[in-house]
Amino acid sequence: MDGQNLLAERFEAERGRLRAVAYRMLGSAAEADDAVQETWLRLSRSDTDAIGDLTAWLVTVVSRICLNMLRSRAHRREEPLEARTPAYGDGGTGAGAAGGGADPEEEALLADSVGVALLVVLDRLAPAERLAFVLHDMFAVPFDEIGPLVERTPAAARQLASRARRRVRGGAPAAAAAPGEDLRRRRRIVAAFLAATRGGDFEALVALLHPDVVLRADRAAIPTPEPVEVRGAAPVAEGAMAAAGRARFTGPALVDGRVGLVMAPLGRLRLVLAFTEVDGLITEIDVIADTERLRAVELAVVEPAVPGEY
């Protein structure tokens, strides 16, 4: 086997790890694949005899590429999500729902495996914070190696990761006000709502709703000239069934300290469902899609009550 083929074989052995890093950095399978491909091109043009630890070198390179992509994205934000993702009540069955020509099912599976809420919170971080958190907390890269990537000292890189960690865990006062069994019950209700919506189980959905449940959606969520209000378990469930397509890119999150749902194709927040629950039944659902309202919502990761719940 010649040198180039051997190098390609070694790279392929690392591809899964590199793609995992890139996906968590970028939130998009297509963009992650682009970053991994660029990493291979740089490796193929490099003096491999000067590379001591190939795995560390590859992780460093793919991280730099992702960091540059994130910085470019932060400056431009040129692709409006509205052109690619389904609104509330839209089944969203087209391939464009995931964007970028990627396989929507693959995007949805990847988002589920990482956690939609985590991708949303990561997308709200500054690029350097995101890189420090992803590399250290998810891939155990030491801060001595992270610091040079973000042009900071190891101690400063540690602070970046610490700030990101606090954002991921959340700090809303309401989060601390619902400990123990109360929070676990809410997680189960929201998880059941999502499962019934994804599975098209109308009866199961109705069973979770109070007979007089009220759903309120802002104008950006439908969209309509005026906000929409729907009352009654059956009409609300019918609306959720019509929007089943968006559930592929939806996951549980802490929404202002309470368990809710976030929809985020490509890890970029599009819509939030905030729930009010009384005696085990959902009494109110607030559908938020307006940009300013979304920006004001505090989001954090909510852990499953039991392994595999979500």
Tens-digit pLDDT profile for residues 145-174? 999 999 999 999 999 999 999 999 886 544
Tokens of 174: 């309401």
Give me the mean pLDDT over the 202-208 stretch: 97
* The pLDDT value given to residue 34: 97
Distance CA(204)–CA(33), nearest Å, equals 38
Peptide bond before 223: cis, by omega within 30 degrees of 0? yes
What domains are defined for the chain? 3-169 (1.20.140.160), 173-300 (3.10.450.50)
Distance separating alpha carbons of residues 82 and 91, to the nearest angstrom: 14
Range in 45-49, 86-90, 93-97, 148-152 with the lowest mean pLDDT: 93-97
Mean pLDDT of 172-200: 78
Q: Which residue has the higher pLDDT, 174 or 299?
A: 299
Read off the pLDDT band of 183 (50, 70, 90).
confident
pLDDT digits (tens, 9 = 90+) for 115-143: 999 999 999 999 999 999 999 999 999 99
Task: Give residue 247's pLDDT.
Answer: 85
Dig out the tokens for 222 from the structure.
Answer: 């439908």
Average pLDDT estimate for 262-288: 94
Mean pLDDT across the stretch 206-235? 92
Is pLDDT above 70 for 88? no
How many residues are given for the chain? 310
pLDDT at residue 303 greater than cutoff 90: no
Per-residue model confidence (pLDDT) at position 267: 86
Interatomic CA distance for residues 275 and 268, integer angstroms = 21
* Chain mean pLDDT for the chain: 86
pLDDT at 245: 78
Q: How far apart are the first and last CA of the chain?
A: 46
Q: Which residues contact 194 (CB under 8 A, 6 or more apart)?
A: 247, 250, 251, 252, 261, 310
Please state, for a pLDDT cut of 70, what percent of the chain lies above it: 85
HSE-CB at 165 with a 13 A cutoff on CA atoms is 12
Higher pLDDT, 254 or 91: 254
Between 98 and 51, the more confident residue is 51
What is the spatial distance between Cα 274 and Cα 271, in angstroms, rounded to a whole number? 10
Q: Residue 250: which H helix or E strand, with range? A: strand 250-255
Extract the tokens encoding 121: 């919170």
**Range 57-78 average pLDDT:** 88
pLDDT value of position 180? 59
The arithmetic mean of pLDDT across residues 196-223, rounded, is: 94
Query: Average pLDDT for residues 188-195, to the nearest whole number?
Result: 95
* Better pLDDT: 48 or 282: 282
Contact status, residue 261 vs residue 111, Cβ threshold 8 Å: no
Lowest mean pLDDT among 47-56, 237-246, 292-301: 237-246
Name the residue among 38, 112, 37, 145 with its Cα closest to residue 304. 112
- Among the residue ranges 42-46, 53-57, 181-185, the one predicted with the least confidence is 181-185
Q: What is the pLDDT of residue 278?
A: 93
Q: State the pLDDT at residue 211.
A: 97
Q: What is the pLDDT of residue 175?
A: 45
Phi, psi of 258 (to 5 degrees): -115, 150
Q: 267: which residues sit within 8 A by CB, 6+ positions away?
A: 26, 27, 28, 111, 116, 119, 120, 122, 123
Span 102-111, mean pLDDT?
83
